[in-house]
A = this chain, B = another copy of it.
Amino acid sequence: MKKINFSAGPAILPASVITQAAAAVEDLDGSGLSILEISHRSKAFDAVLVEAEALVRELLNVGDEYGVLFLSGGASTQFFFTAMNLLNPDETAGYLDTGSWSAKAIKEAKLFGHVNVVASSKESNYNHIPKGYTVPGDLKYLHLTSNNTIFGTQFQSFPETDAPLVADMSSDIFSRRIPLERFGIIYAGAQKNLGPAGATLVIVRKDLLGTVERQLPSMLDYRVHIKGSSTFNTPPVYPIYVMMLTLRWIKEQGGLTAMEAHNERKAKLLYDEIDRNPKFTGTVSDDESRSLMNVTFVCTDDADTGRFLAAAEAAGCDGIKGHRSVGGFRASIYNSMPYEGVETLVNVMKEFN
Q: Is there an interface contact between B319 and A238, defined as CB atoms closer than 8 Å?
A: no
Chain A residues within CB distance 8 Å of chain B: 1-3, 5, 7-13, 18-19, 21-23, 25-26, 31-34, 36-40, 72-77, 79-80, 84, 104, 107-108, 111, 189, 191, 195-199, 215, 217-220, 232-239, 242, 316, 318-319
The distance in angstroms between the C-alpha atoms of A84 and B108, with both chains bound, is: 16
Is A18 in contact with B10, judged by CB distance below 8 angstroms? Answer: no
- Bound: A116/B7 CA distance, A: 50
Assess the A13–B36 pair: CB atoms within 8 A. yes
Taking a contact as CB atoms closer than 8 A, the residue among B36, B38, B236, B319 that contacts A72 in the complex is B236
Contact across chains for B34 and A18 when beta carbons are under 8 A apart: yes
Question: Cβ of B13 and Cβ of A18 under 8 Å apart?
Answer: no
Known contacts A76-B232, A217-B111, A219-B80: A36-B21 contact under CB 8 Å: yes
Besides A107-B218, A196-B238, 9 more A-B contacts (Cβ < 8 Å) are: A9-B234, A10-B39, A10-B40, A10-B234, A10-B237, A18-B34, A73-B233, A111-B215, A198-B199
Contact check, B5 vs A236: say whether CB atoms are below 8 A apart: no
A-B CB contact pairs (8 Å), 23 listed: A1-B32, A5-B37, A7-B39, A10-B40, A12-B37, A13-B37, A21-B25, A22-B23, A22-B25, A22-B26, A36-B242, A39-B319, A73-B77, A73-B233, A77-B219, A77-B233, A79-B218, A80-B217, A80-B219, A108-B219, A111-B217, A189-B234, A198-B199
Please report the C-alpha to C-alpha distance between residue A225 and residue B215 in the assembled complex, in whole angstroms: 25
User: Which chain B residues lie closer than 8 Å to A217 at the CB level?
Assistant: 79-80, 84, 108, 111
Tell me whether B238 and A197 are in contact (CB under 8 A): yes
Cβ B25 vs Cβ A18 within 8 A: yes
Chain B residues whose C-beta falls within 8 Å of the C-beta of A219 in the assembled complex: 73, 76-77, 79-80, 108
A77 to B104, CA, bound (A): 21
Among the interface residues A22, A40, A316, which one has the most CB atoms of the partner chain B within 10 A?
A: A22
Query: Residue of B at shortest CB range from A7?
Result: B39
Distance to closest chain B CB from A48 (angstroms): 12
| CB-CB nearest 5 A-B residue pairs | A198-B236, A76-B233, A80-B217, A22-B25, A72-B72
Task: List B contacts of A19 (CB < 8 A).
Answer: 26
> Which residues on B sit within 8 Å (CB–CB) of A13?
34, 36-37
